[in-house]
Amino acid sequence: MSLEVGKIIEGRVEGITKFGAFVNIGKGQTGLVHISEVATSFVENIHDFLEEGQKVRVKVMSLDKGGKIALSIKKAILQEQSSQPKVTRPIDYDWSRKRDNIGDSFEDKLLHFKQQSDERMQSMKHGNEPRRSASRRGGNR
């Protein structure tokens, strides 16, 4: 298996330091997962997230000519989550039925909105009209 930037592979944590974890990715190759790439949340203590001997999935971030391999657990998690299909609406719901008797065209929807808006404005105006007393209208004193 040849390493490629962007590839997600499985490895085993070999060592943990305060700045990251060294992960054995096979064929005698070890890469570094920087502490900022360990989890999708803030990592204050790396030991809260990883332990030696633990299997992890990592994404290859870069390959250095000197043999250094930068890895990311966080990016592997995010990529795998984004590749899973998300269900955003109930599968058994009949989306073809209409909610009301509004036509499908934009003009029909706009006309319906305008009618509702005019009705609301009339009811607001009616409720806000000032009331005049009999004495101000020139009534009997």
| Residue predicted with more confidence, 137 or 51 | 51
Domains in the chain, number: 1
Inside any domain, residue 20:
yes
CATH number of residue 48's parent domain:
2.40.50.140
Structure tokens at 86: 């998300």
CA angle 29/31/32 to nearest 5° reads 160
- Segments of 1-141 assigned E as strands: 8-17, 20-26, 29-34, 55-63, 69-72
pLDDT bin (cut points 50, 70, 90) of residue 107 is confident
Inside any domain, residue 16:
yes
Instruction: Give the domain extent around 37.
Output: 8-83
Taken as a whole, the chain contains a residue count of 141
Per residue in 12-48, pLDDT (tens digit) is 999 999 999 999 998 889 999 999 999 989 999 999 9
Inside any domain, residue 128:
no
Q: For the full predicted model, state whether its pTM sits above 0.85.
A: no
